[in-house]
Amino acid sequence: MKIIGIDIGGTGVKGVIIDEKGEVYVKDSIPTEAEKGADNLVKNIAAMIENMLSASDISKSEVAGVGVGCPGLIDSRHGTVVFAGNLYIKDYPLSSEISKRTGLSARITNDANAAALGEARFGAGRKYEDSILVTLGTGVGGGIVIGGRLFEGGSSAGTEIGHTVIVENGIKCTCGRRGCFERYASARALTAQTRAAMVKNPGSPMWKTYDKNSVCGKTPFDYMDDDPVAKSVVDGYIKHLACGIVNVANVFRPQVVMLGGGVSEQGERLTKPLQEIVDREIFVGTEYAPVKVVKATLGSDAGAFGAASLWIEN
Amino acid sequence: MKIIGIDIGGTGVKGVIIDEKGEVYVKDSIPTEAEKGADNLVKNIAAMIENMLSASDISKSEVAGVGVGCPGLIDSRHGTVVFAGNLYIKDYPLSSEISKRTGLSARITNDANAAALGEARFGAGRKYEDSILVTLGTGVGGGIVIGGRLFEGGSSAGTEIGHTVIVENGIKCTCGRRGCFERYASARALTAQTRAAMVKNPGSPMWKTYDKNSVCGKTPFDYMDDDPVAKSVVDGYIKHLACGIVNVANVFRPQVVMLGGGVSEQGERLTKPLQEIVDREIFVGTEYAPVKVVKATLGSDAGAFGAASLWIEN
């Protein structure tokens, strides 16, 4: 059985053909051209699918279906994109349009869900039934797999873990609330925390030697061994991140929490202190159902692999 | 088809025989006698089951099974009570012991889950596929039904919504964390908030006329129409409660959040302002997947009904 996985991003669309064991037959990518609208996007995705099929010499009769991960609010049951601001798409029947153009059945889910399913099937979660992917990027994204199945919440509109408040009346969030997890634990938040600490401590090594215009989530980690200011930024960030992760773990009780996104590149410098806090704070302790914290392994491939996995039965 | 539902509480055990439509054939209750241990509890439950069967003239061959809601950490897949402090039970195979004594198959779940399933099938959630029961008692309990199915999280150990932090570094919780939802939104928390406001405002009507020893969650609601101090307690409490409810709603996106426990008796004085906050704060608004806030309707019957519902296919 072959499956086609499509991961739609704000600037690029990735495609892959795999089998149920995760063997890759072909990969491809195209620009999203979001500003040209949904029909153009579907036309280009259909063309990429045809290209991948001919490049890999796979016939459509061998293909179980097309899985698509798409940003925004997705109605997976009806195969529609309810709203995807970055793609200028609203109430669009993406599944049926892809089917019309390709003659293949299509399933869709939110891109964060797709990435979580990819990591669960073929990445850091492959040994576990219950896993969560927490992506630390511009925001904090979450995807949840429990009992080997993708959990999307009611109306496939749940798992917005980045928009759960951890600091009541805290920093204003783009979603309209105050104190959301992602205002404290995203890469963008870490960058802001780093800048604030630098401005407050102009004598610190980080302040003295770093190019102020290129401060990012990596900066405090680069300096933490020799700069107490950098170290305190990292420690503070990890406390915020742990707070949200334990919240999610107490609600979903996964066997593993996988960290994705740029910040996760810090590996054990992040996962080790997080593991200590999770072990200390998880509800009723670690004896019955421990929760591991690890780095995700598929990187930017997770979405397309996970989208394809929408066609793999548990 | 008849089903037996058992709801184990700290002081009493409730039993019911219903059919899949929720028609009640017989009810019974016995004291828990927690201090006498698990075997005694099972023996008494088995005797109650025999009594209910003979009182209703139902034969065991008509019974699909026994469903049990039990406090504590439950391994529902294996039918064991991992840990139930109030019952002095640890690692006990409750399902198989009940089966041995009754000759009937048994399934168990956590008591909060059972109550949520009861409300979902036969109570305030019966018109909805996706519902959450939030119980405002000594703590804050949660049970989640998505797509008509009970969601227990990984290892059936999730849905501990009371132990998600909404105030980082806030009030110390019994679970070891700081700032948990239940430290701000339980009936006990509301009582503490009321006492604190009274002490701070000895001139208030609430302070002047209320018996200080009987302050409870009802107190500020009784006075709110004429006492600004009481009103501000209620307003503050509702803000905390709304914070946790929107968090849960953003993660599970239910069609309905049902409030149970003593505080929920306040009805619209609670649900109306909560609905306003939920509608304002829910992720990407109410257009696609609105979330209603209502009072639960089954009261203390929810647990036994929900336990029985473990045998009703979706």
- Residue pLDDT, tens place only, B38-51: 999 999 999 999 99
Say how many C-beta atoms besides its own lie within 10 A of residue A195's C-beta: 15
Question: Does residue B244 carry a pLDDT above 80?
Answer: yes
User: How, if at all, do strands B292-295 and B256-260 pair?
Assistant: parallel
Interface check for A171 against chain B (CB to CB < 8 A): the answer is no
Question: Is B154's CB within 8 Å of A129's CB?
Answer: yes
Instruction: Please report, rounded to a whole number, the percentage of residues in chain A having pLDDT higher than 90.
Output: 96
Task: Return residues 12-71 of B near A (CB < 8 Å).
Answer: none
Nearest CA in chain A to B129: A154
Tokens of B295: 């009072």
Of B33, B34, B52, B43, the residue nearest B98 (C-alpha):
B43
The residue among A203, A238, A232 whose CA lies nearest residue A220 is A232
What percentage of chain B has pLDDT greater than the value 90?
A: 96
This model's pTM is above 0.90: yes
* Smallest CA–CA distance from A290 into chain B, residue: B155
pLDDT at A91: 96
Q: Which residues of B touch A283 (CB under 8 A)?
A: 157, 160, 163, 175
Is the pLDDT reported for residue B150 higher than 80? yes
- Provide φ and ψ at A235, rounded to 5°: -60, -45
Q: Flag if B158 and A250 touch (Cβ within 8 Å).
A: yes
- Distance in angstroms between the alpha carbons of the first and the last residue of chain A: 15
Those of residues 124-153 in B touching chain A at CB distance below 8 A are: 129-130, 146-147, 151, 153
User: In sequence order, what are the residues at sequence separation of 6 or more whose Cβ sits closer than 8 angstroms to the Cβ of residue B204?
Assistant: B197, B198, B223, B227, B228, B229, B230
Residues of A in contact with B281 (CB under 8 A): 175-177
Element (H, E) at B302: helix B302-309
CA distance A165 to chain B (A): 6
Q: DSSP label at B245?
A: H
Question: What distance in Å separates the CA atoms of residue A143 and residue A159, rounded to the nearest whole number?
Answer: 6
Does the CB of B88 have a partner CB in chain A at under 8 Å?
no
Give the amino acid at B115.
Answer: A
Residue A209: predicted pLDDT: 82
Q: Do A246 and B280 touch (CB under 8 A)?
A: no
B156 Cβ neighbours under 8 A, 6+ residues apart:
B74, B75, B76, B77, B109, B110
Rounded to two decimals, the ipTM of the complex is 0.96
pLDDT, tens digit, 9 for 90 and up, residues A15-47: 999 999 999 999 999 999 999 999 999 999 999
What pLDDT, on a 0 to 100 scale, did the predictor assign at position A212? 78
Of residues B160, B251, B280, nearest to A283 (C-beta): B160
The reported pLDDT for the residue numbered A208 is: 86
Encoded tokens for B27: 């009810």
**Has residue A58 got a pLDDT over 80?**
yes
Helix (H, G, I), strand (E, B) or coil at B259: strand
B120, containing H or E segment: helix B111-122
Give the pLDDT band of residue B314 (cuts 50, 70, 90): confident
Q: Which residue of B has its CA nearest to A277?
A: B177
Mean pLDDT of chain B: 96
| Residue B176, min C-alpha distance to chain A (Å) | 6
Q: How far is B267 from chain A (nearest CA, A)?
A: 25
Nearest CA of chain B to the CA of A145: how many Å? 9
Q: Give the span between the Cα atoms of B70 and A199, in whole angstroms.
A: 54
User: Within an 8 Å CB–CB cutoff, is residue A154 touching chain B?
Assistant: yes
- Is B250 in the A-facing interface, judged by CB distances under 8 Å? yes
Encode A122-182 in three state secondary structure. HCCCCCCCCEEEEEECCCEEEEEEECCEEECCHHHCCCCHHHCECECCCCECCCCCECECH
- The size of the A-B interface in CB pairs under 8 A is 140
Give CA separation, B121 vs A110, A251, B129, B160, B245, in Å: 29, 22, 9, 21, 21
| Residue B313, pLDDT score | 87
State the Cα–Cα distance between residues B77 and B94, nearest whole angstrom. Answer: 12
Q: Identify which of A148, A114, A115 has the alpha carbon closest to the alpha carbon of residue A131.
A: A148
Burial class (CB in 10 A: 0-12, 13-18, 19+), B262: middle
B228-235 mean pLDDT:
98
Residue A303 burial (C-beta neighbours within 10 Å; 0-12, 13-18, 19+): buried
SS3 label, residue B177: coil
| A210, A247, A262, B20, B121 from A173: Cα distances, Å | 28, 19, 21, 45, 36
Task: Output phi, psi for B16, to 5 deg.
Answer: -150, 145
User: What is the average pLDDT value for chain A, to the nearest integer?
Assistant: 96
Residue that wins the pLDDT comparison between A202 and A212: A202
Q: Among all chains, which residue has been given the structure tokens 């979706």?
A: B314
pLDDT at A313: 87
Q: Which residues of A touch B239 (CB under 8 A)?
A: 168
A153–B253 C-beta distance less than 8 A: yes
Partners of residue B177 in chain A, C-beta under 8 Å: 246, 281
Q: What is the pLDDT of residues A287-301, one digit of tens each?
A: 999 999 999 999 999
Nearest to B108 by CA among B301, B260, B311, B296: B311
What is the tens place of the pLDDT at every residue in B117-132?
999 999 999 999 999 9
Of A146, A177, A288, the CB nearest to B82: A288
Q: What pLDDT is recorded for position B208?
A: 86
B288 contacts chain A (CB < 8 A): yes
Of B129, B248, B289, the CB nearest to A157: B289
CA atoms within 13 A on the CB side of A224: 18
